[in-house]
Amino acid sequence: MTAKIIMNRDDIDRSLDRICLEIIERNRGLDELSIIGVHTGGVFVAQRLKELLEAQGTDIVLPSGNLDITLYRDDWSLISQNPVVKKSEIGFLMEDRRVILVDDVIFTGRTIRAAMDAIMDYGRPLSIQLVVLVDRGGRELPIQPDYVGMHVRVGKGERVDVLLRESGGADKVLLSAP
């Protein structure tokens, strides 16, 4: 497979800065907001976004958490007979919160549907807004992100990989072709 860098560190930082400002503008501040990252890549993007949002407010700490959706997926038995389940950590009440749900890449929409099902098991938030670093298109479900770092057209057999320093990589997004 050949890989091409479609976002570098500066592109990622600039996208997250813009998304941060869009979130603040749309929600008229940070009141009632909380942030949840979807394992694995969304957790790292959510942490960065949380830090950027908190830097905009005075003495504000956003409730945050992370979510493993493995057993909520409608295709988990097709992926593996022995799924690896990570720990979900939601340390706040959902009620009266506007949840910012974060993932690194959106493709079919199935991961996000599973994440929304998992969130509802914790309670009923006021709203759920979706942040993705990369929207690669190809939706199978009617789910669209509210905030997007980059839209990219991905051909058949191509893939998008987000490599972040938190997972031992250099900050970049790759488009790989067969």
Given a contact cutoff of 8 angstroms between Cβ atoms, the answer to whether 49 and 131 are in contact is yes
Whether 79 has a pLDDT exceeding 70, the answer reads no
Bridge partner list, 14: none
Cα 37 to its chain centre, rounded Å, is 5
- Between 128 and 76, where is the model more confident? 128
Q: How confident is the model at residue 75 (pLDDT cuts 50, 70, 90)?
A: low
In 3D space, the residue among 147, 164, 167, 163 whose CA is nearest the CA of residue 99 turns out to be 147
In sequence order, the 6+-apart residues with CB closer than 8 A to the CB of 146 are 26, 129, 130, 131
pLDDT of residue 63: 97
Q: Which two tokens stand for residue 52?
A: 């950027």
pLDDT tens per residue across span 102-158: 999 999 999 999 999 999 999 999 999 999 999 999 999 999 999 999 999 999 999
- Between 74 and 43, where is the model more confident? 43
What is the phi/psi pair of residue 175, to 5°?
-110, 115
pLDDT of residue 80: 53
How far is residue 115's CA from residue 101's CA, in Å, rounded to a whole number? 8
Q: How confident is the model at residue 71 (pLDDT cuts 50, 70, 90)?
A: confident
Domains and CATH numbers, the chain: 10-156 (3.40.50.2020)
Q: How confident is the model at residue 72 (pLDDT cuts 50, 70, 90)?
A: confident
Helix-then-strand count for the chain, H and E = 4, 9
Q: Which two tokens stand for residue 82?
A: 């022995």
